[in-house]
Structure formats: structure tokens, C-alpha cells
A and B are shown apart, each in its own frame.
Chain A
Amino acid sequence: MQRREFFKKLGSAAAITAVIPMMSFAADAKKQAGPNEFSYEKALDVITGGKGAKASPKVSLKAPAIAENGAVVPITVEVESPMTESDYVKAIHIFATKNSNSRSASVHLTPANGKAIFAARIKLGSTQDVIALAEMSDGTFLTATQSVKVTIGGCG
């Protein structure tokens, strides 16, 4: 059923006004500067020492394409690696590119982990790209990006 019919079924114009304040609020919302404001570009520069990183299929980043709730967005990063003393993933960094502080977590791994997998839930202030940056033991940096659309609304 279409939304319009739905409102007809509700038979209530009041229900429509319920949506309007929310939308106006969204249009009004300003990006606030947080205590730890830090952009993705800056973080990437610091971590890679200016070398930068390249996208790689070795890094898999799982995140929902649409998150019903920006306060809890599940993410899982898996990096292909044997995790041996000579070849392992030193760190997995997670970034939310449009959050005022883009840094979410930096996970420093060791061969004792056996697998280079990290999962957590992050907060996203708006629709944006989430980036996983893997720091390999050979000094290279690999990334994976996933765009997450954050919807607002719902009841309660």
C-alpha cells in the first residue's frame, strides 16, 4: 500500500503534521563541532605518514546499506591475512567520514589473534561512508568503503 492511502486509512491530517516537525528539524540540524573534531583526511595522513592507502578486495567491510537507527550501526571488518609473525595485520582502523570526529576505533592486532576480524557497533550522525583501513605488517595500507544511509523516524 502507498503511504498516501495509508494516511487516508488513518483518516487523520494530524498524522501528517507529526512528520513535518521532524523533517524541518532535519533540515535545520547543524553540524556541531565536537571536543575531538578530527577529519578522515587528517587521520589518514597521520596514520599512513602521508603515504595514503589504496582500496583492496583483501579488506571486507560489512555494514548495512540502510540503518534504521544511526545510534547502533553494526560493522564487521575482515582482512585476508595468514596472521603469522612475518605476515599479519598490525591494525584495523574504522572511520565514519562525516562524524565530527571521524575516528571510531583503532584495533591493534597481533599474530596471537589468529584471524584479522573486528566487529563493533558505531554511531553515525548522518548518511555517510564508513571506511575500514588495514595497516599490514609489510607497511602497506589497504581500505574498504561502505556507504550507509541513516534513516530517522519510527515510533518511540
Chain B
Amino acid sequence: MKTGIKIALSLALLSSLSFGGEQFAMSDSDRAMYAEMLENNPADIMVANGEQLLGNLGGEAAFAKYLGVSEDKLPEYIAGFPRYIEKFKMVVGIDQVLQAMMHDAGEKPFKLKSSDMFDMLAYTKSLANGVKSNIDIDANQHMKDAYALGQKTFDTKRGGRGLSCLSCHAPAVIGSVLRTQPLPDLSSKGVAVAATWPAYRMTKSSLRTLQRRFQGCMKNALLKVIPIGSPEMVALEVYLTKQAEGTEIAIPGLKR
């Protein structure tokens, strides 16, 4: 009986939501208030930790040298990740390059899914702050393949509910309200996700990366979670980074 009432109540709420999505959405002035928080983003501490960790490996000079790029070209180069790197014979994210660099320096690499790696990745990507995201998916066949795999991963329906990333992030449903939150436009016309991750997640009180966010999304939509750094995950990052092409990189971002 009690459950019956609960369901009735929920349905009543639900139907009110269907007409009143607006009342749950934040106003522009509310958004501006949150944007002000970017100035003193709690993730600044995590990024500072990342700077120290990269410093232990020789800092950005060592990172540039490891990639065979001159230091003044490094920001532009970072803004083009994920990239195909000949040395690894695969398309990789910044975090994987950092892992390899740690390994070659004789250190035990941080796990891809660890807060130290998230911090270091955030700092490294922040070196490209202000530079426009410039991923080149036509650079070679590997990048073309990665883009295609990324799109496939994005579009493929999986899991118990038969959902794909596209189910909630297709142009036709952008802006509709799901669980009281408007569904975001992930492209450069909207939030340009790839340019603003790693970011501070307010609901998690921690710094998260784009691939870690994909995992959270998959888990909630009941899709089997794909490991960080796997070809599909990197491909997904390639696909979404392409959508954010031309957007200025601003790390760390700030997310709900």
C-alpha cells in the first residue's frame, strides 16, 4: 500500500516535471555565479600537486624532450591529444605518455585510474590553456581509425537498457531534462567537453578526467564500464575532442 502511494506520488511529480522542466534549470545569473567559482577552483590544489609530480620527472622540459617537441611548441602539441605516437605504435592520451615516461625513467608508473595520474594529467594539459584544441583526425590512418572507433563506441547501444552515449547526447534530445538536469550539448557549440576536462566534479569533491567521466556515465546507464586507456576509451576521447575542435583549452574545468 505504502509503495503504491509512493509510486502515485512519484508519477504525479513526474508529470509535473514534464511541463515544468524550466523551473529546475538554473538561470543565467546562477550559472554566472558558478562560473565565478572557476577563479578559485578547488582543483587548483590538485593541479599544483600535478605540477610537483611532473616536476619530479623533470617538468615540462623533460615532457617536451620525451615527445621530441621543442618547449615553445609544446602547448600547441598538447592541444592536439589524443595523438598517434610512432614510438608506441598507437593512439594515446597524455596520461599514457606520462606513464611511459615514468617507466622509461625507471619509476613505477601511476595507474591510469589514480588521483596522482589525474592530477599530473590535469597539470600537463593545463600547459595548453588558452590554446585552441587542434586534434587532427586526418593526420594518418591510425587517427582516422580511432575517430571511426570513437563514433562507433558513442553510437553503439549496449547494456540492460540498450542505451548508447548518443541516446542522451543526440542533437534531437539536447536540452531535455533528465533527472532534473538538462542534457548538455557536448560539442563546441555547447560545453565543448574535451576542452574543459580534467575538471573539478562538485558532486564527487574531486578532480576527474574525461575518460573517468565516461566511466561514470556508463555505470549509471548500466553499460559495462570500459577501462581507462583502452583503445575504445581513447577513441571516444578522440571523437569528442574532435567535436570540441577550435575551443580554447581551460583546465581545470568546474562541473556539477
Contact = CB atoms under 8 A, between A and B. Distances in A.
A62 B203 contact: no
A69 B173 contact: no
A3 B17 contact: yes
Contacts, number: 118
Interface string A1-38: 11111100110101110111011100100000000000
Interface residues of A, number: 38
B24 A151 contact: yes
Contacts of B163: 10, 12
Interface of A, secondary structure class, is mixed
Contacts of A5: 176
B202 interface: yes
Nearest to A64: B30
A69 B256 contact: yes
Nearest to A2: B18
Contacts of B181: 68, 151, 153-155
Nearest to A20: B10
Given A69-B203, A71-B202, A16 B14 contact: yes
Given A3-B18, A15-B161, A27 B9 contact: yes
Given A27-B9, A65-B30, A74-B34, A155 B217 contact: yes
Interface string A45-60: 0000000000000000
Give the interface size class of chain B: 35 or more
Contacts of B19: 2-3
A151 B13 contact: no
A59 B146 CA distance: 56
A1 to B, nearest CB: 5
Contact of B27 (A6, A20, A66, A74): A66
Nearest to B160: A14
A64 B26 contact: yes
Interface string B29-47: 1100110110000000000
A117 B212 CA distance: 37
A19 B33 CA distance: 28
A23 B10 contact: yes
A86 B228 CA distance: 60
A24 B181 CA distance: 18
A3 B180 contact: no
A9 B173 contact: yes
A92 B56 CA distance: 43
Given A3-B177, A68-B181, A155-B179, A14 B14 contact: no
B32 to A, nearest CB: 9
Interface string B146-190: 000000000000001111000110001101111111000000000
Nearest to B215: A156
Contacts of A15: 161, 178
B37 A74 contact: yes
Interface in B192-251: 202-203, 205, 213, 216-217, 219-221
A27 B37 CA distance: 32
Contact of B176 (A1, A12, A65, A76): A1
Given A24-B7, A67-B26, 5 more contacts: A6-B176, A6-B177, A10-B163, A19-B10, A66-B27
5 contacts: A10-B168, A10-B173, A22-B179, A64-B26, A155-B178
Interface of B: 6-7, 9-10, 13-15, 17-19, 21, 24-27, 29-30, 33-34, 36-37, 160-163, 167-168, 172-173, 175-181, 202-203, 205, 213, 216-217, 219-221, 256
